[in-house]
Structure 1
Amino acid sequence: MKPSKLGLYFDEFVVGETVEHALSKTVFESDNNFFSLLTMNHHPVHTNLDYARKNQHGQLLVVGTLVFSLVVGMTVPDISGKAIANLGYEDIKHLRPVFINDTLYAKTIVLDKRESKSKPDRGIVHVETVGYNQHDEAVISFRRHVLVKKQA
């Protein structure tokens, strides 16, 4: 049996390549409630159905940082599985609302990569990820720099 592979080495990333991530997640009301409590985001648009029904979208909204966290997590097996560190996230955009029972998917494009100036055993990969719902509508996008090991 061949062991599963977690992530890519720096050398394996190809600038311009798009990765369609295999992981996906339907966001349940329990996910949203737990995340709201855990992160102390008690805004009623996330936790109070009566309040949410009387506001802009007429239904509960999934917490934006939960959407971000889930989409980042979906990328780990492909993008940051061999990472030493995520150096920074940038240009995070919430493009449309996510509702209870929406299913999230993600794609990542490799924008650029460069070798580390201070450590020859690693490099920095710059990627952009877009999260989609079940209607193939983009709901979130962000960029990040990932410090990744080179192959030995």
Structure 2
Amino acid sequence: MEGTGYKQVGPQRYRELLGFAFEDFTVGDVFEHRPGRTVTEADNVLMNTLSLNPSPLHLDAAYCAHTPWERPLISSLVTFSVVCGMSVRSTSGRALANLGWDRIRLTHPVFAGDTLYAESRILAKRLSAKRDGEGIVTCETRGLKSTGEVFLTFERSFLVPTRERGVEERAGY
């Protein structure tokens, strides 16, 4: 697959590459996103503070002791952000626009101390009918705990340039 890893830009000099051009995606390809990320209580408090989410389900251990979980849940805003962010390098790293998320499902709880991984499968791709030199790619991303348990799934579509229309060379990437 062209576009992976690095490109040589001079003698003994390499530049990291991010994402792929439209032509590089193949329906059915699966990307395992690494490194993983162990989520913490601090992540949870920070995201709940930033997003103004006051739910005791994420912030109040005494309250949570009376829930089925018996401890605070990591907010889905944290887990969604981490998993989506993990997927960018391999999927939408060269995107011109994120077009949206569909079929978001939260299938299992996540707690402080859980280590999260992600993987994305390319579901579809097509050239844009309205924008020359650009295409739309759709992928399904799954969030997995280090135990292998899937806790989150979603589909995402994004707009990427063809190799001919890419901005990497002009931008020094």
What TM-score comes out, normalization by structure 1 length?
0.97
Q: Return the letter of the residue paired with 1:138.
A: V
In structure 2, the partner of 1:108 is 120
In structure 2, the partner of 1:147 is 159
Structure 1 stretches of 4+ with a deviation exceeding 4 A read none
Q: Return the letter of the residue paired with 2:80.
A: F
In structure 2, the partner of 1:84 is 96
Gapped runs of 5+ residues in structure 2? 1-12, 165-173
Please state how far the C-alpha of 1:23 moved relative to its aligned partner.
Answer: 2.8
Q: What SS class does the counterpart of residue 75 from structure 1 fall into?
A: helix
Q: What SS class does the counterpart of residue 101 from structure 1 fall into?
A: coil
In structure 1, the partner of 2:57 is 45
Choose 1 or 2 for highest CA Rg: 2
1:117 equivalent to 2:117? Answer: no
**Alignment size in residue pairs:** 152
What TM-score comes out, normalization by structure 2 length?
0.86
1:28 equivalent to 2:45? Answer: no
Q: Please give the residue correspondences for 1:50-61 in structure 2 after superposition, counting only pairs within 5 Å.
A: 50-61=62-73
Please state how far the C-alpha of 1:53 moved relative to its aligned partner.
Answer: 1.4
CA distance in 2, matches of 1:19, 1:89: 18
**For each residue in 1:25-75, what CA deviation from the matched residue of structure 2 results, as whole angstroms up to 9, or x when unmatched?**
111100100101110111111001111111110111000121111100001
CA distance in 2, matches of 1:13, 1:65: 28
Q: What SS class does the counterpart of residue 83 from structure 1 fall into?
A: coil
Flag the structure with more relative contact order, 1 or 2, with Cα contacts below 8 A and sequence separation at least 6.
1
Gapped runs of 5+ residues in structure 1? none
Q: What SS class does the counterpart of residue 74 from structure 1 fall into?
A: helix
CA distance in 1, matches of 2:45, 2:120: 28
CA distance in 2, matches of 1:42, 1:138: 26
CA distance in 2, matches of 1:132, 1:34: 22
| Counterpart pick for 1:13 among 5, 16, 25 | 25
Please state how far the C-alpha of 1:120 moved relative to its aligned partner.
Answer: 1.9
